[in-house]
Amino acid sequence: MIIVMKPGVTDQDVEHLVERLRELGLQSQISTGEERTVVGVIGDDRILQNQPLTVFPGVESVTPVLAPWKLVSREFQKHDSVIDVNGVKVGGTKIAIMAGPCAVEKKELTVGIAKEVSSAGASILRGGAYKPRTSPYSFQGLGQEGLDYLVEARKQTGLPVVSEILDARDLGHFLEKADIIQIGARNMQNFELLKEVGDYDKPVLLKRGLSATIKELLLSAEYLMSRGNRNVMLCERGIRTFETQYRNTLDLTAVPTLKEMTHLPVIVDPSHATGKWNLVAPMAKAAIACGADGLLIEVHSNPECALCDGEESLKPSRFRDLMASLKLIAQAVGRDL
């Protein structure tokens, strides 16, 4: 950690700061320039996360030298993590396509869509049983019953299942029935939930919050990993900006950036990011072109009557076409679906 002192700082101020650092078991190295005195701190500066150093008299700014996370970093693990999801590998050469309805509605519909996406080449089935909805008057999901429909769909198609958890009290159901527990954008900093999910080794899909920085996403992943769960996948799903022409702004630069900073697989959700079905195909292609390890795509056999996010759902025939064009992009970057 590097501490820059204000111009005209007194020796007592510097002394007072160094004293405090010493109490914390850290050594200081003072260098005095023409315009500023700089205090370099030697030792594990993660200790300093709990210390409000800018509040000390004479301190102008504090810059950490080390990242505040450990287990998620490339420095900690050089090779890519490959997560085994009930036999399907996520994070290797093969790109994982997770497709299905936004919300689970009826059993036959769910199984029908599962069969469609399976035959089109998807490797994992997505579907929301519990739905976080902005308005209390919107459809709130089927809950446990929805999970059961997904289990039935898995039985009939063999596709592993990813579904979003909203409440730690449902964790038992998810451990039993889901193959990947999705932690949604709104819960990326629900730290209690992260801690509890982190206590198991069930694969987790951690979505980036609507206004979460890359650093905050990695710290949330660190919550999971520091409790023992190594099967973490990250998901970029659009961030909130001033642009209102589409629902969110898909931040694809996050993909190569995350691949450089962490060993964890990176998934992209073009459906929620754009909120418009006709933007899903181009953004899905772009995601694979810049290095994503997988995609989350919404498919519904009758978008006009979907109870949730019909606007962004692809019909099965369009999904099939998309899979064909994604295959070409994957090959162009040396990968496969």
Q: Which stretch binds its own copies (CB under 8 A): 37-45, 79-87, 120-128, 152-160?
A: 37-45
130 CB contacts (<8 Å, ≥6 apart)?
140, 141, 143, 146, 163, 164, 165, 166, 167, 170
**Binder among 15, 119, 215, 317 for its own copies (CB under 8 A):** 215
**Binder among 88, 109, 166, 197 for its own copies (CB under 8 A):** 166
CB of 87: closest distance to its own copies in angstroms? Answer: 29
Q: By CB under 8 A, tell whether 228 contacts its own copies.
A: no
81-120: contacts with its own copies (CB under 8 A)? none
End-to-end Cα distance, the chain: 44
Q: By CB under 8 A, tell whether 24 contacts its own copies.
A: no
Q: By CB under 8 A, tell whether 304 contacts its own copies.
A: yes
Residue pair 300/313 in contact (Cβ under 8 Å)? The answer is yes
Q: By CB under 8 A, tell whether 19 contacts its own copies.
A: no
Residue pair 74/261 in contact (Cβ under 8 Å)? The answer is yes
Q: By CB under 8 A, tell whether 210 contacts its own copies.
A: yes
d(CA 54, CA 68): 18
Q: By CB under 8 A, tell whether 252 contacts its own copies.
A: yes
Element holding 27 (H helix, E strand): strand 27-32
Q: Which stretch binds its own copies (CB under 8 A): 93-101, 109-117, 173-181, 214-222?
A: 214-222
d(CA 301, CA 308): 13
Site string for its own copies, 58-77 (x = CB under 8 A): -----x-xx-xx-----x--
**Binder among 286, 301, 320, 335 for its own copies (CB under 8 A):** 286
98, 108, 135 from 102: Cα distances, Å? 11, 15, 16
Q: By CB under 8 A, tell whether 25 contacts its own copies.
A: no
DSSP state, residue 77: -
DSSP letter string, 278-306: HHHHHHHHHHHHTT-SEEEEEB-S-GGG-
Applying CB under 8 A, the site for its own copies has a residue count of 107
187-206: contacts with its own copies (CB under 8 A)? 187, 189-192, 195
Q: By CB under 8 A, tell whether 11 contacts its own copies.
A: no
User: Backbone phi, then psi, for 204, in 5-degree steps?
Assistant: -125, 135
Q: Which stretch binds its own copies (CB under 8 A): 81-89, 155-163, 174-182, 242-250?
A: 242-250
Residue pair 170/163 in contact (Cβ under 8 Å)? The answer is no
